[in-house]
Amino acid sequence: MMHATTSLKKLAKAILPAPAKSALARTYAGYKIRRAREAFVACRQGPTFLPVEFLDRFMCAGYRPPDPIRYDPEGLELRAREKVGILQQRVPLGKCHNCLELGCWDGVVGKALVGVGKRAYGIDIRGEGFDRDARSAGVHFLQGDVRQIPLTNGSIDLVYSFAAFEHFRDLELVLAEVSRILRGSGYLYLSFGPVYTSPYGLHAYRQIPVPYCHYLFSREDLKLYANRHGLSCDWPFVNGITVTQYRHLWKKFSKDFEVLYYKEHPTGAIGAEIIRSYPICFRGNVEDVDDLFVSAIEIVLQKKE
């Protein structure tokens, strides 16, 4: 039956026009999510972990990691320009002179902002990633904790962050600090993921590209597996915040910020069949099963006067 389903999917991809293939993919993803949700709701026990021996089965199942990211100079510059374009779409960048990036790492987005006439700051807990060319271009780098930003009250027009917010601790302290340094009516833009409750929320997908592996197996067993196969297990810290908890966070700060834009990017049902087969690994780990089907979050907040 599985072979027949796979053959039908290949045939559909070969003969259907692009719009029809997209519609079919959405329908199939919706079906997979519904079946996973039903299994989760029906499960009355959990959470528990699978034996580490099961991991070899998953590793042989054909799961592949997300597409690689280019880190060469040309790739970095292209992504930086794309991110500035996103900022231009989401916030009135013309009104923003002083801009700060949270979790900036190399600061190449700040460099691109300098190129369009902005004063750019970047803060990161680690300083070894700071790009020499970005510094030469005028990016002001700050090595430190985003919970204690060394800038004066109301000195920044735009705070932004790409693919970093899920790595920060004490998010309430972070938002309070952002509110402090933003001018009245200043903007905060956040785009981050994969969030912890998503298929690749552990950020270990280059070594173990199994969706939801952090729910299926204990952290000790995952590291044991990586060490046994000569894989790096130096995975980044992820704060473990669920999508539901992020929603509560935005509401908690509604007295300080107005939400101008909000989008939760779907997973496309990646790994939904795993939830359906092993709901006991997920039950009790998330408040809402739908948290498992959000990959990333994008939000624009404006500080209230």
Q: What is the pLDDT of residues 249-273, one digit of tens each?
A: 999 999 999 999 999 999 999 999 9
Cα–Cα distance measured from residue 61 to residue 75, given in angstroms and rounded to the nearest whole number: 31
Instruction: Report phi then psi at 21, rounded to 5.
Output: -65, -40
Q: Is 215 helix (H, G, I), strand (E, B) or coil?
A: helix
Q: What pLDDT shows up at residue 16?
A: 64
Q: 28, 8 in Cβ contact below 8 A?
A: no
Q: Tens digits of per-residue pLDDT, 205-255?
A: 999 999 999 999 999 999 999 999 999 999 999 999 999 999 999 999 999
Place of tokens 């003969």: 15
Place of tokens 């079919």: 24
Q: 289, 227 in Cβ contact below 8 A?
A: no
Q: What pLDDT shows up at residue 1?
A: 39
Work out the number of other CB atoms within 10 angstroms of the CB of residue 257: 21
In whole angstroms, how large is the CA radius of gyration of the chain?
21
Instruction: Report phi then psi at 260, rounded to 5.
Output: -95, -25
Cα–Cα distance measured from residue 146 to residue 177, given in angstroms and rounded to the nearest whole number: 8
Band (9; pLDDT cuts 50, 70, 90): low
The percent of residues above 90 in pLDDT, for the chain, comes to 86
Q: What integer best gives the mean pLDDT of the chain? A: 93
6 pLDDT higher than 60: no
Rounded mean pLDDT, 149-161: 98
The pair of three-digit structure tokens given for residue 89, joined into one six-digit string: 């779409």
Nearest alpha-carbon partner for 91 in 182, 181, 189: 189
CATH of range 19-305; options 3.40.50.150, 3.30.70.270, 3.40.50.1100, 1.10.10.10? 3.40.50.150
Boundaries of every domain in the chain = 19-305
Q: What pLDDT shows up at residue 69?
A: 82
Q: 186, 158 in Cβ contact below 8 A?
A: yes
Q: Are strands 182-192 and 294-303 parallel, antiparallel or unpaired?
A: antiparallel
Q: Is 83 helix (H, G, I), strand (E, B) or coil?
A: helix
- Element (H or E) spanning 190, and its range? strand 182-192
pTM here is: 0.92
Q: Tens digits of per-residue pLDDT, 87-145?
A: 999 999 999 999 999 999 999 999 999 999 999 999 999 999 999 999 999 999 999 99
Supply the DSSP symbol for 63.
Answer: -
The pair of three-digit structure tokens given for residue 90, joined into one six-digit string: 């989401």
Instruction: Report phi then psi at 176, rounded to 5.
Output: -65, -40
2 pLDDT higher than 60: no
